[in-house]
């Protein structure tokens, strides 16, 4: 539910930009996009760490 709400917020910014001009919403939109990119990057890093940790644990269990 939270990711859909975040995408909805960005969509709202874009719709607002279409009516009032991009200069009015550019700071908000840029901040939202950087926040989303940072969250995806953190998620990617943590998923990689988890996968490597589970591979290490599994190898230890099999030997």
Domain ranges for the chain: 2-62
The answer to whether 34 and 11 are in contact (CB under 8 A) is no
Q: Are 17 and 29 in contact (CB under 8 A)?
A: yes
Residue 21: helix, strand or coil by DSSP? coil
**Nearest C-alpha neighbor of 28 from the set 19, 42, 16:** 16
pTM here is 0.71
pLDDT in tens, the chain (63 residues): 667 888 899 999 999 999 999 898 999 999 999 998 999 999 999 999 999 999 999 988 776
Q: How far apart are CA 11 and CA 48, in angstroms?
A: 30
Distance (Å, whole) CA 13 – CA 7: 10
């Amino acid at each position: 539910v939270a990711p859909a709400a975040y995408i909805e917020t960005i969509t709202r910014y874009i719709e607002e930009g279409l009516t009032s001009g991009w200069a009015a919403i550019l700071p908000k939109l840029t901040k939202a996009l950087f926040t989303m990119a940072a969250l995806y990057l953190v998620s990617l890093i943590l998923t990689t760490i988890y996968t490597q940790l589970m591979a290490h644990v599994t190898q230890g269990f099999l030997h």
